[in-house]
Amino acid sequence: PAVAAEAHAAEEAAKAARAAAEVAAQAAEIAAQAEREARIAMEKANEISKLAHPEREESNGEREGSSEAGDEELDYMDLLASLDLMDYAALLNEQQITEIEDLKLLTKEDLRDMGFSVGAGNRLYKWV
């Protein structure tokens, strides 16, 4: 009876492990799909920004972000792209941070609380 109970427990543990692996695989697929959808949304937002501000495309090719001179000319999405922060655009939008002036108000603690990685948070904070 003890051997049978152990065998049954092992079988149940194996079933639970398979179910957990299946759930993990589903979660990974959902995360990958969300990432693809976020990337598509950012591409569309960039296209809309280009349509709304065609003069920016013509007048300045590549620009380096700086919080000193020229903030008015620097587009929010261009700034995020130049700092390699496009992955955080949706997160910032959820927090109603949609303009450069909003970014300037963020503290390191805000960035940490929002889930920014150390590197991404430092890039943005250094720019600000």
The predicted-structure confidence for 35-78, as pLDDT tens digits, reads as follows 788 777 777 777 776 666 666 555 444 444 444 444 444 688 88
Say what the pTM is: 0.44
Number of Cβ within 10 Å of residue 78's Cβ equals 21
- The DSSP call for residue 86 is G
Distance CA 49, CA 56 (A): 10
Confidence class for position 2, pLDDT limits 50, 70, 90: confident
| Chain-centroid distance, C-alpha 122 | 15
Residues 105 and 110: their CA atoms lie apart, in Å, by 9
Query: pLDDT tens digit string along 87-116?
Result: 899 999 899 998 889 999 999 999 999 999
**Two tokens, residue 75:** 């587009």
- Mean pLDDT for the stretch of residues 13-17: 93
